[in-house]
A and B are shown apart, each in its own frame.
Chain A
Amino acid sequence: MGAHYWRTAFFLSFFIGVFLVFPLFPLARKLAIVRPELLCLLLIFWVLNRPQQMGVTFAFGLGLFQDVIHGNVWGSHALALTVLAYICLLSWQRIRSYSVWQQAMWVFVLVGTHQVVVSWVQGFAGYPSPTKLIVFPALVSALLWPFFSWVMLQLQWRLRLGT
C-alpha cells in the first residue's frame, strides 16, 4: 500500500469518473449513436497492461456502478464488463503482442460483445436493440483504440501508475 498504490487508485477512479460522465453529455440523438464506449476501452487497456491487478470482480463492480449511475437495468453492464474482462484475461498474452491495428480489430469484437450482452439484458425490459447500436459504438471504439492506448500509455508512464 505504498504511494504508488494510492496514486494509481486516485487516477484510476478519476478516469472512471470522467468516462462515466462522458455518455451523459447531451448530444443530438443522431450523434449519440457514435459515442465510443470509453469505459470498455479503459478496462481492456488495464487488463492488457496490468493483468495481475485488474480482475473480473473489479469489472463486475464497475459495471454495477455504471448501471446505478446511468439508470440502466441493474446487472446489464456488470454482466457485459465481467464477460469482457474474462475474455481479456484469457487472451492478454496474445493480444499484447499484436500490432496496434490488429488490437483495434480485437477491440471491435470485444466492444461488440459488450454491446450485444447489454442490449440482450435491456431487451428483457422490452427495449429494442437496433443493429446500428451494436455496430457503431464498437466501430468507433475500435478506431479510437490506437489513439486511446497511446495516450493511456503516455499517462501511465509519466504518472508512473500501476508499477
Chain B
Amino acid sequence: MGEKSIKPIFNKGPSLGARTALLILAALIIAGIYLYTDWFSSLKNKTTDLAIPFHWAADLPDRAIEIVDTKTMSRGRLEQENEALRTELLLHKRKLQEMVSLAAENVRLRQLLNSRETIEDRVLVAELIGISPDITTQKVIINRGSKHGVYVGQALLDANGLMGQVVEVGERSSRVLLITDSTHALPVQIDRNGVRLVAEGVGNPNEFRLSLRYVSNTTDIQEGDLLVSSGLGGRFPEGYPVAVVTEVEQHSGREFMQVWARPMAELDRSRHVLLVFDESQPEEE
C-alpha cells in the first residue's frame, strides 16, 4: 500500500493556489451567469433529462413497496376500495350533471354580457418523478417534456388546486417551481369578493405556506377565504383554486396585515398531476 509516486519537489504547472483561485472565479462567473442572465436557458433545458436516471434510482425503494403492497392486497380490501370508488364516482357524476346546466347558463349569461366564452383548458396528465434535494428550494421534476408539448411557464395542478409553474423543459422531463418556493409569487383574488392580492411563497422547509403581500388593514379578508388564481400575470390560467386563508394578523401600528394561507394542492403528497395548456396565451419559445 505504499505510494508509488513520490510528490515532486518542483511542481509543474500552475500552483495549487493559482488553480484554486481560477476555479473559484470560474464557479462565481457560472453562478452569476445562471442567476442574472438567461444565457444558460437552452443548456438548462438540455440538461434537465440528465437527472432522470438519478431520480429513477432514488424512487426504487418506494416503487418496490408499492408493488409488494398491490400484490399482497387482500380481496376484501380490494372489494371495499372498489365500492368506495363507485360511490365517489356516483357523487361526482351527479355534480357533473349539475355542472352541465350551470355551464349552459354561464354561456347564456356571458352572451348577455357580450364577453368572450371561456375556452375549456386542455390538460395533460403527468407523474411526479422527483423532488429537489435542497430543502430550501421547492422544485419538483415531472415525467413530461418538450416531446409532449410542455413549455416554460405552463401551470401545474393536482386534483385540489394549483401547484406551480414549469421553469425548465427537457425532452422527456421538466422542472417545476412550486408556488411555495421563496422565489415565487402569483396574483390571486379572493373568491368571495374578488379582491386582488399577491401570494408569495415562504419556502419554509417544514410546512407549505403562502404569505399575502400588501394587504391593507381595511381589506375584507377572513380566515377560511378561498383564493383563486386571477390570471392577471398572464402566466396562470384564471379561476383555479390556489389556497385557503389560515391566519389573519392585524397589527394596529403597521400599514399592512400579515396574512397566511395554506395551498389547496397537496404539494408533498400528490404524485399524479395535470399540466394545463392555456389556449388563450401565445406559446413562448
Contacts and interface: CB of A to CB of B under 8 A. Distances in A.
Interface of A: 17, 20-26, 29-30, 32-33, 51-52, 55-57, 60, 63-64, 68-76, 78-79, 82-83, 86, 89-90, 119, 121-122, 124-130, 133, 157, 163
A72 B58 contact: no
Contacts of B12: none
Interface string B35-51: 10000100000011011
Contacts of A73: 31, 34-35
Contact of B183 (A25, A60, A127): A127
Instruction: Determine the main DSSP class of A at the interface with B.
Output: helix
B27 A82 contact: yes
A119 B24 CA distance: 16
Contacts of B61: 25
A82 B30 CA distance: 14
B27 A60 contact: yes
Contacts of A33: 135, 205
A56 B22 CA distance: 10
A89 B17 CA distance: 10
B54 A57 contact: no
Interface in B98-136: 130-136
Contacts of A127: 136-137, 182-183, 203
Contacts, number: 130
A78 B20 CA distance: 11
A124 B35 contact: yes
A126 B20 contact: no
B28 A128 contact: no
A70 B134 contact: yes
Contacts of A23: 133
A29 B136 contact: no
B225 to A, nearest CB: 26
Contacts of A68: 47, 50-51
B5 A124 contact: no
Contacts of B285: none
Contacts of A82: 20, 23-24, 27
Given A21-B57, A25-B61, A71-B175, 16 more contacts: A24-B133, A29-B268, A52-B7, A56-B20, A69-B50, A70-B51, A74-B30, A74-B40, A75-B29, A76-B31, A83-B20, A90-B16, A122-B136, A122-B137, A128-B203, A130-B205
